[in-house]
Amino acid sequence: MENRFDKILLKLIEISVSSLLALMFIIVLIQIFFRYIFINFSIFWFEELAKYLMFYMVMLGSALAFRKEKHPALLFIVQKFPVKFLKVWNFIQDIIIIIILIIIFKEGYLMALNETIMKSPALRISFFWVYLALPIGALLMISQIVTNYIFGEKDLFKLNRKKYPKINFVRRF
pLDDT category of residue 170 using cuts at 50, 70 and 90 = very low
**Is the per-residue pLDDT at 140 higher than 70?**
yes
**Domain map (residue ranges) of the chain:** 4-150
**Is the per-residue pLDDT at 168 higher than 50?**
no
Average pLDDT, the chain: 85
For the stretch 29-59, pLDDT in tens is 999 888 888 777 778 899 999 999 999 999 9
Q: Pick the residue with more confidence: 138 or 80?
A: 138
81-84 long-range Cβ contacts below 8 angstroms, 24+ apart: 83/159, 83/160, 83/161, 83/164, 84/159
For the stretch 10-31, pLDDT in tens is 999 999 999 999 999 999 999 9
Which pLDDT does position 117 carry in this prediction? Answer: 93
Distance (Å, rounded) from C-alpha 145 to C-alpha 25?
29
Which pLDDT does position 101 carry in this prediction? Answer: 98
Residues 6+ apart with CB under 8 A from 147: 2, 6, 67
